[in-house]
Amino acid sequence: MLERELEPRPGTLFPVEIALQELDKRLVCNGITTAYAAVALADGPGLRSEDRARELISAIWQHRDLLSVEMLVHARFEVTMPAAVRMVSELLKVGQIQMVSLMDHTPGQGQFRDLETYTNYMTKWLGGDREKAAQSARAGLERPTSWDVGHEVARYAREYGVPLASHDDDTPAKVDLMHTLGTSIAEFPVTLEAAQHAKARGMCVLMGAPNALCGGSHSGNLSAKSALEAGVLDGLAADYHPASLLQAAFKFARDGLVSLPDAVNLVTRNVARAANLTDRGSLEVGLKADLTALEDGPFPRVRGTWRSGQLLFGDGVLLHHLGQAVQGEQNRTTPREVASPQSTSR
């Protein structure tokens, strides 16, 4: 999400502080009070490089106290970038990374098991040349992937107690490898077989909310609906579209796939537990009063958002009702004040 705010069009870059402010507004207007900014530790197209990742993470921690949401950092570590291991260890040590995922986007496996899918993605989404994308895909097939760096990053994540996620698991063997490394979250498994195996291993299975809302994966992989129907879906991630979280949860409930409370848990309690955030995610005494006021409808609309009981966002409809409630309370209290013993004695 942050990358799209930084570079809404290829080659058009905005200052990081503006991007953070704009993302912050989008998040609170969609009822979100805690967000993980996914920062790619990868050497690839667009904004992805080690230097850019350092810049983004530094900016997040420099400006996070000015944001409405609690902004945390999700380091998406590409195993083909061993040079970034040192940066991960440094940032974990100073508490600037709160989640790590291990990713391998080389073609021929995972999300891009089909080389044609990889070529289309690189060409259309990233604005590249199709022949160059095809050449990159073929080169990726010839480049062996070593998981030695994955083991090292996983060790650092365990040492500093941050949740570790796998990414785009496509086979039970891949799930077994990730489980051995200590991952507790299976993020976006691309086959039902992999999702079922992750669930059996006790991992929290997360799918993308845009996938759930739109009815399927843009890459033709496992759909969130199929994962839910198979009983292996534990939560939804915003991925690249914050508005999809609540919309997807309500769609699941409207379609009769799950009860509304269980659907809402997919984007609140369940994901908070997966992220080891024990102080939020449900309405209980002693937890943070993070609340969202919704107006129901075909596409529910967020009317107000509170974080720790403090109003972050309220539109005209909410403020109108709050004003009426305050006025009603004043009307009820005034007669009691007039009739108090102290008043009548005068």
Beta strands 99-103; 70-78: pairing state = parallel
Is there a domain that residue 117 lies in?
yes
Domain membership of residue 28 as a residue range = 2-287
Residues 6 or more apart whose CB falls under 8 angstroms from that of 57 comprise: 39, 73, 75, 91, 96, 97
pLDDT value at residue 134 = 55
> At 283, which CATH number?
3.20.20.140
If you count DSSP H runs as helices and E runs as strands, how many of each does the chain have, helices first? Answer: 16, 10
Q: Is 81 helix (H, G, I), strand (E, B) or coil?
A: coil
Residues 6 or more apart whose CB falls under 8 angstroms from that of 245 comprise: 30, 31, 32, 209, 236, 238, 267
pLDDT value at residue 81 = 81
Beta-bridge partner residues of 34: 70
Rounded Cα distance between 277 and 33, Å, is 13
Rounded Cα distance between 122 and 132, Å, is 9
Q: Are 203 and 183 in contact (CB under 8 A)?
A: yes
Is there a domain that residue 335 lies in?
no
pLDDT value at residue 183 = 96
Residue 272 vs residues 33, 234, 264, 301: alpha-carbon distances, Å:
12, 11, 12, 22
Is there a domain that residue 28 lies in?
yes
Is there a domain that residue 322 lies in?
no
Token pair for residue 31?
């009822």
Number of independent structural domains in the chain: 1
Is there a domain that residue 318 lies in?
no
Rounded Cα distance between 260 and 55, Å, is 40
Helix axes 192-200, 172-181, angle to 10 degrees: 40
Is there a domain that residue 244 lies in?
yes
pLDDT value at residue 319 = 84
Give the containing element (helix H, strand E) for 156. Answer: helix 148-159
Global pTM value: 0.82
pLDDT value at residue 169 = 94
Distance of CA 23 to the CA centre of its chain: 13
Q: How many residues does the chain have?
A: 346
Give the containing element (helix H, strand E) for 194. Answer: helix 192-200
Beta strands 301-307; 291-295: pairing state = antiparallel
Residue 156 vs residues 71, 203, 261: alpha-carbon distances, Å:
22, 19, 36
Tokens 């490089």 belong to which residue?
Answer: 49
Is there a domain that residue 35 lies in?
yes
The residue among 193, 247, 240 whose CA lies nearest residue 218 is 240
pLDDT value at residue 132 = 62
Beta-bridge partner residues of 74: 38, 99
- Tally Cβ neighbours within 10 Å of residue 74: 21
Q: Are 169 and 190 in contact (CB under 8 A)?
A: yes
Which DSSP symbol is given to 307? E
Question: pLDDT tens per residue, the chain (346 residues)?
Answer: 888 898 888 788 899 999 999 999 999 999 999 999 999 887 655 556 788 889 999 999 999 999 999 999 999 998 888 888 999 999 999 999 999 999 885 655 555 555 566 655 555 555 556 666 555 555 555 555 567 888 999 999 999 999 999 999 999 999 999 999 999 999 999 999 999 999 999 999 999 999 999 988 866 789 999 999 999 999 999 998 999 999 999 999 999 999 999 999 999 999 999 999 999 999 999 999 999 999 989 999 999 999 999 999 999 888 888 888 888 877 776 544 433 333 333 3
The residue among 111, 35, 94, 104 whose CA lies nearest residue 69 is 35
Give the containing element (helix H, strand E) for 34. Answer: strand 34-41
The residue among 166, 171, 119 whose CA lies nearest residue 147 is 166
Is there a domain that residue 329 lies in?
no
